Structure 1
């Protein structure tokens, strides 16, 4: 890969006034993710045109619309800090701040990287930009445009998890795409971020203080470092994308109903069916030896708390639920039903309140579970509609969450065709091949 140029793109506005300086304290929803690795996504777009067209036409439009999008999402150009005078980390922004945009060219095979075949995880790492993070401060967003001459281009986005959840991150990309595609300087109201955080985030149980205290003790005492966990990508990591069509999901639903013995609390949503099926395939492919299997579920709390939170809220607003099941039961013939029951039970507790158990979230994150538990996270959501991000040259050919090769999580998204759900998964080559076979054969039986 050859880096062509690095731009510092500052927020600009043609339709509203930008603040000259502002600061946003993190909420307890944000603080929970303080030192977790950044979230990395790559959007692949077909662009079978000569190189000059990219640099003379496409790049200027992308840069200009990016500046306008940052005018709405201006905190993304700022820095995360944790001053000694503050009891919690803060996002600081002033008019001198900007976002790094790297422009590069790659001689890699675009069609290979943008296909749905299994590939080595490291093959896409050169398409990912990096945040600048020290003990004292961290950048929040970094972007990279990579041209594959006469084939296509990719947009790599790396975002700090303590500032953005998946909803906000993909809302930013959606806003950038809208402004570029429509050649507009104004966003529709539903895409304009909501910053009145203190109006909607009520911390009656002092969760922010609890989470901050837990982070200060890690490597402490009083450890205010912003350096994120260094989670390495395992050797021989292979990534793949797998699709469950609407027909596949309906087939899984009917199978579960046929095996059910009177349980009236089953949730048979797309999310539950999808996570249940891929979890069973994964346990069998990995030949998991742990006694229990734990699925860590991210739950969007927008609309689940009082006062109601706008869908365009800026920042993290994600809670957690854990679905635990005995591994041997997942390996049994009716493993999918067992997984559906466990997921249904975990989500049923949302009726008691989205923040039920929140006082334990940081402890679980930092201390983990006992050695007999295999923990898998579930990231992303089909509701983010990542394949709807058209900058004016068509929908993405492929979207990858690159950071799951460090976390080991499943990633869920919509499909390019609009028919069903796409699942991203990374493991070693042997497991991936076994998973692919189990995934396909299970849908044919």
Structure 2
């Protein structure tokens, strides 16, 4: 995924800076056990690899060296003595910073969008900090590592890892902007002439009359280096960015001011943190994550610069840590209720209003800060970054970054990264990672994995239509994807899955001998397995030949489509119990029935929720699925018959019937009755075939159809590497008159089913809310 082009060490120009040591202050010590800070900045850079190697690498090396002349402590090490002596930052001649240049094959545009992306996609762009070394029981801890990664002809990414004990985020962004400016101007003369303050490293900017520094060091030194807050990556984590625009932030502020009487700090930052915090707690509850007991506190913490609290104020260009914390807790029950946002806003606003305003208050706050951060909470949400850092103003000469990501939020509990928005003054970006393997993903990400069917050819007015195309795609060092496109006129899904499993088995066993010996039935292609006494075939062909080969139901891609998978687990039994208790007629009440009914109603409600045009009250909504009918014939058509042998189950309902309170029961009754009344004999099958064509040409406002079936057992397809991790039916992305619901067995849980959907993002979000809320209220 990433190839290292060059690794080097960069130091200040020889003889330009003195050897010097800087003891850690009472503001630095609390950060000693914390994880390193990591951030990425992505820039558009439409240049080839040759330009990057020949021109940019030498330029960046030179500018990094010149920048380190002014920020030389970053080239040094954090020195932790074996005794109780306080740590210090020490620079000696020859110290340097690790700088890596690399090339990535990943899609630059994919990584720089706001949609959910797996966090693993970003970690190879972040530089590894050099190892801590031990010299005579004294630890030497590097402070900074840099990496620049090229995406040929599209972009470039600057990544850094730095130790928080050396400086706070504001200080380090000052270093980064200085490096950018020196790169842009080709030297440090214009940077200095432009009024940029050189960093101030003096550690005597504040007093400590009460000996707080000694107390803090006593607490910190009990923590072994490399420990600190427990770090863990969540399972299958994703990163996503959301935007709080100025209009919505203003609405939230007005709501708080109208409902809360006390004098609070009601800013965009306050309401954004409150709103996101509540949404996160509710989302954890919605997916069934273990949550805090009702009386157990949830925590949220953010930090604020306190340079201005001192008299005289600590200079803006002071390079080090100078932060105070705002820390709040609330009961889980307070946050998930209807008034949760107002509760959170009041708590956060009050904490910010009461933050230290002078030197004495700052120093007193430091005494309890470490203890608060170490509290054993069920969940602690922390806020990294700040819109005030103006990270998007970092210009290396190619304009503003396209995107910035704080990667260190991937560890230690739940972290929210807040930045100013790149292109809209007053808006903020909210970035965090969350758990789910089935989350919404842009549908376009899958289309290149599906093979294109060869073109139809015309030979002497006879049309030759290819039936199958295959594609195997490698994801280096991680996975492989098998994709196929086949013509439904050749066979039904069950027949094709038999082909796919046969290919898998022959691949796994290295030939077809063992496959045949294992009892696998060879396909039966004979087209005389059924008779047609009533001439239905002639009637069907008469209708079909009026449709041109490239026509059929109108196909269109939805706007900004995303794919997502939902799971119907043990809740299916609750739904079945509900139907059996409230419906008197004898129905086919299976997991398939209640899943289809529940999802159909959720789709209808989600469409209404986003203002989608819906059918008139008396205009029918349609639902359809197909079922194998080989067993309906006498004698039964062989299981290994390769072709189509399907019958349809088709129901309609008024829109008003489905969106009302009893909508699920109505849908379940209609679907259950249709499945119960499906053809069970040869005569019934043949008669129903006349309806199957009508299904494709009926002019409904919306038709919801169900491709796939748990009975196909797609997850049993083993090419020799085990069961598939995931399966997707991509043809459902192209829809005709309505929506497709893909239903498969669940990979790892017998009896559960996966539900695949493709919607515009706005409708997918609405569907997810309605789906999970509906199950929660059973």
Q: How high is the TM-score relative to the length of structure 1?
A: 0.90
- Give me the whole-angstrom Cα distance separating, in 1, the residues matched to 2:438 and 2:250: 27
1:248: how far off?
Answer: 2.0
CA contact (8 A) 1:40 1:159 kept: yes
1:393: how far off?
Answer: 0.8
Structure 1: tracts of 5 or more residues without a match: 220-224
Q: From the superposition, tell whether residues 228 and 20 of structure 1 become closer, same or farther in structure 2 (CA, over 3 Å).
A: farther
CA contact (8 A) 1:249 1:270 kept: yes
Q: SS of the counterpart of 2:129?
A: coil
**What are the residue-to-residue correspondences of 1:368-383 with 2, within 5 Å?**
368-369=375-376, 371=377, 373-383=378-388
Instruction: Give 2:431's aligned residue.
Output: 424
**What are the residue-to-residue correspondences of 1:277-296 with 2, within 5 Å?**
277-287=275-285, 288-290=291-293, 291-296=296-301
Instruction: Give 2:364's aligned residue.
Output: 356
User: Are 2:157 and 1:154 aligned?
Assistant: yes
1:229: how far off?
Answer: 6.1
Q: SS of the counterpart of 1:297?
A: strand
Q: SS of the counterpart of 2:392?
A: helix
- Give me the whole-angstrom Cα distance separating, in 2, the residues matched to 1:337 and 1:354: 28
Given candidates 30, 38, 47, the residue that maps to 1:32 is 30
CA contact (8 A) 1:298 1:319 kept: yes
Instruction: Give 2:203's aligned residue.
Output: 197
- Give me the whole-angstrom Cα distance separating, in 2, the residues matched to 1:67 and 1:127: 21
1:330: how far off?
Answer: 1.6
Q: From the superposition, tell whether residues 348 and 289 of structure 1 become closer, same or farther in structure 2 (CA, over 3 Å).
A: same
**What are the residue-to-residue correspondences of 1:14-413 with 2, within 5 Å?**
18-84=16-82, 87-134=85-132, 136-186=139-189, 187-188=191-192, 189-198=195-204, 200-219=205-224, 225=225, 231-260=231-260, 262-263=261-262, 265-287=263-285, 288-290=291-293, 291-350=296-355, 353-366=361-374, 368-369=375-376, 371=377, 373-407=378-412, 408-413=414-419
Q: Mean alpha-carbon deviation: is it higher for 172-181 or for 225-234?
A: 225-234
CA contact (8 A) 2:302 2:325 kept: yes
CA contact (8 A) 1:37 1:230 kept: no
1:374: how far off?
Answer: 2.5
1:82: how far off?
Answer: 1.5
- Give me the whole-angstrom Cα distance separating, in 2, the residues matched to 1:380 and 1:54: 30
CA contact (8 A) 1:405 1:427 kept: no
Q: From the superposition, tell whether residues 328 and 431 of structure 1 become closer, same or farther in structure 2 (CA, over 3 Å).
A: farther
Instruction: Give 1:4's aligned residue.
Output: 5
1:190: how far off?
Answer: 3.9
1:247: how far off?
Answer: 1.6
CA contact (8 A) 1:259 1:334 kept: no
CA contact (8 A) 2:356 2:365 kept: no
CA contact (8 A) 2:212 2:363 kept: no
CA contact (8 A) 2:292 2:298 kept: no
Q: From the superposition, tell whether residues 306 and 191 of structure 1 become closer, same or farther in structure 2 (CA, over 3 Å).
A: same
1:192: how far off?
Answer: 1.5
Q: From the superposition, tell whether residues 133 and 349 of structure 1 become closer, same or farther in structure 2 (CA, over 3 Å).
A: farther
Q: How high is the TM-score relative to the length of structure 2?
A: 0.52
- Give me the whole-angstrom Cα distance separating, in 2, the residues matched to 1:28 and 1:306: 17
CA contact (8 A) 2:384 2:416 kept: yes
Q: From the superposition, tell whether residues 431 and 402 of structure 1 become closer, same or farther in structure 2 (CA, over 3 Å).
A: farther
Instruction: Give 2:554's aligned residue.
Output: none
- Give me the whole-angstrom Cα distance separating, in 1, the residues matched to 2:362 and 2:349: 15
Larger RCO (CA within 8 A; separation ≥ 6): 1
**Aligned Cα root-mean-square deviation (Å):** 2.4
- Give me the whole-angstrom Cα distance separating, in 2, the residues matched to 1:258 and 1:430: 40
- Give me the whole-angstrom Cα distance separating, in 1, the residues matched to 2:86 and 2:311: 23
Q: SS of the counterpart of 2:158?
A: strand
1:216: how far off?
Answer: 2.3
1:111: how far off?
Answer: 1.1
CA contact (8 A) 2:23 2:88 kept: yes
State which structure, 1 or 2, has the greater radius of gyration over its C-alpha atoms.
2
Q: From the superposition, tell whether residues 18 and 228 of structure 1 become closer, same or farther in structure 2 (CA, over 3 Å).
A: farther
